[in-house]
């Protein structure tokens, strides 16, 4: 499974550089990296942008590399009863 690590760096008064590293959780091998810039006021907003927009877009565009990435706000379905 792929895991992500997001870091944000303030680059301007209202701009953060967002960097993400995707690694394989069993081997710690770096599978892919990404970086972007987002115009927000706080680091929390930058992280939220990364988790809500940047990472989902990357997962959709690079399904073969990071298709198994589970985002923080997603929950994996592990079976159990299903409603009728």
Positions in the binding site for other proteins (CB under 8 A): 12, 14-15, 32-40, 45, 49, 53-54, 56-58, 60-62
Q: Which is nearer to other proteins, 64 or 81 (CB)?
A: 64
Q: Which is nearer to other proteins, 35 or 74 (CB)?
A: 35
Q: Which is nearer to other proteins, 1 or 53 (CB)?
A: 53
Residue 66 to residue 64: CA distance in whole angstroms: 6
Interior/surface letters 17-32, b for 16+ CB within 10 angstroms, e for the rest: ebebebbeeeeeeebe
Smallest separation, CB 25 to other proteins (Å): 19
Please enumerate in sequence order all residues whose Cβ is within 8 A of that of 45, keeping only pairs 6 or more positions apart, or say none. 16, 38
């Amino acid at each position: 499974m792929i895991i992500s690590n997001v870091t944000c760096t303030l680059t301007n008064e209202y701009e953060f550089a967002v960097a993400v590293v995707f690694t394989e959780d069993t081997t710690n091998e770096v599978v892919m990296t990404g970086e972007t810039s987002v115009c927000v006021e706080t680091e929390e907003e930058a992280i939220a942008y990364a988790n809500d927009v940047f990472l989902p877009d990357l997962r959709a565009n690079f399904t073969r590399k990071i298709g198994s990435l589970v985002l923080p706000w997603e929950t994996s379905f592990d079976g159990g009863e299903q409603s009728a």
